[in-house]
Structure 1
Amino acid sequence: MLAGSLWVAALLALGTNAQSSDSTAATSDASSASTTATSSDSGSSSPSVVTLTGSETSSAVFTGGKFSYASVGTQQITASTLYADKSSTSSSTSRTGSSTGTGTDTATTTSASKGSTSIATLLVGGGGIVTQSIINGTVTLSSHLNSTRTSSAAGTGTSSSAKPTNTTPCNNYPEFCDRQYGNITEVCAHNSAFDKPGNLASNQDRTITVQLNDGIRMIQGETHYVNGSIWSCHTSCDLLNAGPYLDELNTVGDWVRDHPYDVVTILIVNSDFIEPGNYSEVLQQSNLKDYLYEPPYIPMRLDQWPTLSELILSQKRVIVFMDYNADQTKYPYILDEFTHIWETPFSPTDRAFPCDTQRPPNLNPETARNQLMYLANHNLNTEVSLFGQNILIPNSAELNVTNAATIEYGSLGLANQNCTAMWNRPPTWLLVDYYDVGKGSVFEVAAKANGVTYDRPCCGATSTSAAANVKGSAVALLVALAAALVMSM
Structure 2
Amino acid sequence: MKNIIYYLPLITTYAFAQSSSQSISTVTGSANTYTSGLDYGSIFTLPPTITPSSYTSLRSSGATSGSSGSSNATTSSGSSNSTVTTSSSTSASRTLSQISGGTRTPGTSAAAAPRPSNTQACNGYPEFCTRKYSNITEVAAHNSPFARERNAQSNQQYGVIQQLDDGIRVLQGQAHMINNTLYYCHTSCDLLNTGPVEDYLRDVAAWLDRNPFEVITIIFGNYDWKLTDASGDAKLVTAENFVAPIRDSGLLEYVYQPPSNAMRLSDWPTLGEMIIMNKRVVTFIDYNFNTNAVPWLLWEFYNVWETPFSPTNVSFPCTVQRPDGISRDQAKSMLYMANHNLNTQVTIAGMNILIPNVAQLRETNGEEGNGSLGKMVKDCEDMWDGRPPNFLLVDYYNYGIPNGSVFRVAAEANNVPFNDRPCCGTPSSSLASGLERSMVTALTGTLAAVAMAMFML
2:53 is equivalent to residue 96 of structure 1: yes
Structure 2 CA distance, aligned partners of 1:179 and 1:483? 52
Contact 2:31 2:259 (C-alpha < 8 Å) held by counterparts: no
Q: Does the C-alpha gap of structure 1 residues 236 and 84 become closer, same or farther in structure 2, counting only changes over 3 Å?
A: closer
2:438 is equivalent to residue 469 of structure 1: yes
Residue 228 of structure 1 corresponds to: 180
Residue 376 of structure 1 corresponds to: 338
Whichever residue aligns with residue 256 of structure 2, its letter is: Y
Map 1:18-417 → 2, pairs under 5 A: 90=33, 93=36, 96-97=53-54, 120=96, 150-151=111-112, 162-273=114-225, 274-369=237-332, 371-386=333-348, 388-406=350-368, 408-417=369-378
Contact 2:191 2:446 (C-alpha < 8 Å) held by counterparts: no
Using the TM superposition, give the Cα deviation of residue 457 of structure 1 relative to its aligned residue in structure 2, in angstroms.
2.5
Q: Does the C-alpha gap of structure 1 residues 197 and 301 become closer, same or farther in structure 2, counting only changes over 3 Å?
A: same
Q: Does the C-alpha gap of structure 1 residues 416 and 484 become closer, same or farther in structure 2, counting only changes over 3 Å?
A: closer
SS class of match (1:448): helix
CA deviations over 1:80-125 (Å, ceiling 9, x no partner)? xx999967773664993269889xxxxxxxxxxxxxxxx956878x
TM-score (structure 2 length as normaliser): 0.72
Report the more deviating stretch, 474-483 or 254-263. 474-483
Identity %: 44
Whichever residue aligns with residue 330 of structure 1, its letter is: A
SS class of match (1:375): strand
Report the more deviating stretch, 268-277 or 464-473. 464-473
Residue 423 of structure 1 corresponds to: 384
CA deviations over 1:419-476 (Å, ceiling 9, x no partner)? 0111120000000001011211000000000001221321124699532431221343
Q: Does the C-alpha gap of structure 1 residues 420 and 163 become closer, same or farther in structure 2, counting only changes over 3 Å?
A: same
Contact 1:130 1:309 (C-alpha < 8 Å) held by counterparts: no
CA deviations over 1:197-244 (Å, ceiling 9, x no partner)? 111100000010000000000011000011110000001110100000
Q: Does the C-alpha gap of structure 1 residues 84 and 388 become closer, same or farther in structure 2, counting only changes over 3 Å?
A: closer
Residue 230 of structure 2 corresponds to: none
Q: Does the C-alpha gap of structure 1 residues 268 and 122 become closer, same or farther in structure 2, counting only changes over 3 Å?
A: farther
Contact 1:181 1:305 (C-alpha < 8 Å) held by counterparts: yes
RMSD: 3.3
TM-score (structure 1 length as normaliser): 0.68
Structure 1 CA distance, aligned partners of 2:318 and 2:102? 35
SS class of match (1:239): coil
Using the TM superposition, give the Cα deviation of residue 263 of structure 1 relative to its aligned residue in structure 2, in angstroms.
0.5
Stretches of structure 2 that go unaligned for 5 or more consecutive residues are: 1-24, 38-51, 57-62, 66-94, 226-236
Using the TM superposition, give the Cα deviation of residue 382 of structure 1 relative to its aligned residue in structure 2, in angstroms.
1.0
SS class of match (1:232): strand
Q: Which has the larger radius of gyration?
A: 1
Q: Does the C-alpha gap of structure 1 residues 379 and 122 become closer, same or farther in structure 2, counting only changes over 3 Å?
A: farther
Using the TM superposition, give the Cα deviation of residue 129 of structure 1 relative to its aligned residue in structure 2, in angstroms.
11
Structure 1 CA distance, aligned partners of 2:27 and 2:175? 33
SS class of match (2:308): coil
Residue number among 395, 399, 402 corresponding to 1:437 in the alignment: 399
Stretches of structure 1 that go unaligned for 5 or more consecutive residues are: 1-81, 103-118, 134-141, 152-160
Structure 2 CA distance, aligned partners of 1:385 and 1:179? 46
| Structure (1/2) with the larger strand percentage | 1
Structure 2 CA distance, aligned partners of 1:89 and 1:83? 12
Whichever residue aligns with residue 408 of structure 2, its letter is: E
Structure 1 CA distance, aligned partners of 2:318 and 2:133? 21
Q: Does the C-alpha gap of structure 1 residues 87 and 270 become closer, same or farther in structure 2, counting only changes over 3 Å?
A: closer
SS class of match (2:376): helix
RCO greater where, 1 or 2, for CA within 8 Å and sep 6 or more?
1
Using the TM superposition, give the Cα deviation of residue 393 of structure 1 relative to its aligned residue in structure 2, in angstroms.
1.4
Q: Does the C-alpha gap of structure 1 residues 93 and 198 become closer, same or farther in structure 2, counting only changes over 3 Å?
A: same
Residue 422 of structure 2 corresponds to: 457
Structure 2 CA distance, aligned partners of 1:231 and 1:484? 19
